[in-house]
Amino acid sequence: MVIQDFESTKLDPIFKDDPLRSFYNGHTHWELQGTDIPLDKIEECIGDASLWPWLCYFCKERSRENRELTDADFEEVAEHLVGVGVQVLHDSYVIWWRVDLQPFPIA
């Protein structure tokens, strides 16, 4: 999952060493991959990402070699996109999901 962060910047000292943070043209993005990320860390990333609307891209796991994202990285995300999530109000989400590519992860 790639979450676009509208609030923090690359120079923000609170998250500067966070391994889940990536950057694209100076803008912060959170990349959550794998199943070993604790729920509280996911909630922290979502909560710190921005005020509403909150936007994320669900894609199949990709290699993560660099914290600086490029156009090619986003092309890879688009090629492997399985869903898009938008939070409009505090507890209201809209999720578009390609069940033909990946089963929807229902807990």
d(CA 48, CA 60): 23
d(CA 16, CA 8): 10
Q: pLDDT tens digits, the chain, 107 residues: what are they?
A: 788 887 777 777 777 778 888 888 888 888 887 778 888 887 777 766 666 567 788 887 777 677 888 898 888 888 888 888 887 776 777 888 888 888 887 75
Look up the pTM and report it. 0.72
**In this structure, are residues 95 and 84 in contact, taking their beta carbons and an 8 Å threshold?**
yes
Structural tokens at position 104? 């929807």
Place of tokens 């590519």: 101
Structural domain boundaries in the chain? 2-97
Place of tokens 């505090």: 90
